[in-house]
């Protein structure tokens, strides 16, 4: 019971609004139109509705990792997510084509070996894919691990090295953003996150600072108040943020929305909900 309370307490650090279901349908204006032109009805709702009305929003964010067990520990035991399910040993023709076909075609067109641009051999089973899904209050994170078939699931080595270029300024770079509760001290959260990661041996979990330092020692010794960027003017007044690196080298962002900017986001959410219900 105490472990369950601790798990819930960790989860409560991450806060956010729930996902919005897109349920708006457009009905025919008269019964006669419905009876005589069913194709128009179909075109206005269901499979014929605008694309934006056919989705329910994000289902999950996916991230390929080098060490599945380490990443899973970070996102569940440190950031407080809850495991939904895990599956794995995916391989074969269908899954290979589902995930890799476009990249494989691109390699063939360039007359290069697909493996050189990161295409594993799921088709022949030389490599396998394992996945784990983690639930947060308003987000699902999927961890993906591609491994050699001879490697054990979870703790086995990845089939390929990670990319060296990790700057968020590169086009196509992605990041995971976590929303802190209103009553959380942002700077203390960053301090405690790094301390807990360090305690677990995750020395590569590092958060930026808002002051210019040129060494890792300088980053570590920066004052507590430099651990988050709190914006106090303009359209983003009340927004606080910091960028970080997770245990896999992945780009993370932690944010807090208070004051005027909170009203902006809350208002946008309310407007969106009203529009999809109309």
Each of the 278 residues of the chain gets a pLDDT tens digit; together they read 444 444 444 444 333 333 333 222 223 333 333 334 444 454 566 888 888 878 888 889 999 999 999 999 999 999 999 999 999 999 999 999 999 999 999 999 999 999 999 999 999 999 999 999 999 999 999 999 999 999 999 988 999 988 878 788 888 889 999 999 999 999 999 999 999 999 999 999 999 999 999 999 999 999 999 999 999 999 999 999 999 999 999 999 999 999 999 999 999 989 988 887 76
In whole angstroms, give the CA distance from residue 191 to residue 244: 12
Phi then psi for residue 113, to 5 deg, are: -70, 125
Residue closest to 140 by CA, chosen among 107, 108, 176, 193? 176
Quote the radius of gyration of the chain (alpha carbons, Å): 23
Could you give the C-alpha distances from 37 to 25, 27, 44, 90, 204, in angstroms and in order?
17, 12, 11, 46, 62
Inter-residue contact 93 to 123 (CB < 8 Å) = yes
pLDDT score for 204:
92
Report whether CATH 2.40.128 matches the domain 58-161: no
Ordered by start, the domain boundaries in the chain are 58-161, 174-278
Rounded to two decimals, what is the model's pTM? 0.79
pLDDT score for 44:
61
In whole angstroms, give the CA distance from residue 16 to residue 144: 24
Alpha helices in the chain (DSSP H): 2-11, 31-36, 38-44, 68-73, 93-110, 186-199, 216-221, 259-277
In whole angstroms, give the CA distance from residue 189 to residue 79: 11
Q: What is the dihedral of CA 63, 116, 155, 175, to 10 degrees?
A: -20
């Amino acid at each position: 019971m105490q472990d369950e309370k601790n798990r819930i307490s960790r989860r409560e650090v991450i806060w956010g609004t729930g996902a919005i279901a897109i349920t708006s349908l457009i009905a025919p204006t008269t019964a006669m139109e419905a009876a005589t032109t069913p194709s128009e009805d179909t075109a206005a709702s269901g499979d014929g509705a605008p694309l934006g009305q056919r989705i329910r929003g994000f289902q999950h964010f996916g991230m390929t990792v080098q060490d599945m067990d380490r990443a899973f520990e970070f996102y569940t035991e440190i950031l407080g997510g809850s495991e939904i399910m895990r599956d794995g040993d995916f391989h074969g023709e269908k899954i290979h084509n589902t995930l890799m076909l476009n990249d494989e075609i691109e390699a063939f067109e360039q007359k290069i070996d697909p493996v050189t641009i990161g295409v594993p051999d799921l088709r022949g089973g030389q490599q396998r894919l394992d996945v784990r899904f983690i639930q947060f209050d308003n987000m699902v994170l999927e961890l993906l691990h591609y491994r050699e078939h001879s490697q054990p699931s979870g703790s086995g080595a990845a089939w390929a090295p990670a990319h060296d270029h990790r700057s968020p300024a590169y086009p196509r770079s992605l990041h995971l953003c976590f929303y802190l509760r209103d009553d959380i001290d942002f700077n203390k959260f960053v301090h405690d996150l790094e301390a807990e990661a360090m305690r677990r041996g995750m020395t590569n979990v590092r958060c930026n600072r808002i002051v210019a330092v040129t060494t890792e020692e300088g980053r570590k010794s920066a004052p507590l108040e430099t651990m988050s960027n709190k914006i106090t003017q303009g359209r983003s007044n009340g927004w606080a943020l910091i960028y970080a690196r997770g245990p896999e080298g992945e780009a993370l962002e932690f944010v807090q929305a208070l004051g005027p900017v909170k009203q902006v986001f809350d208002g946008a959410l309310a407007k969106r909900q009203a529009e999809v219900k109309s």
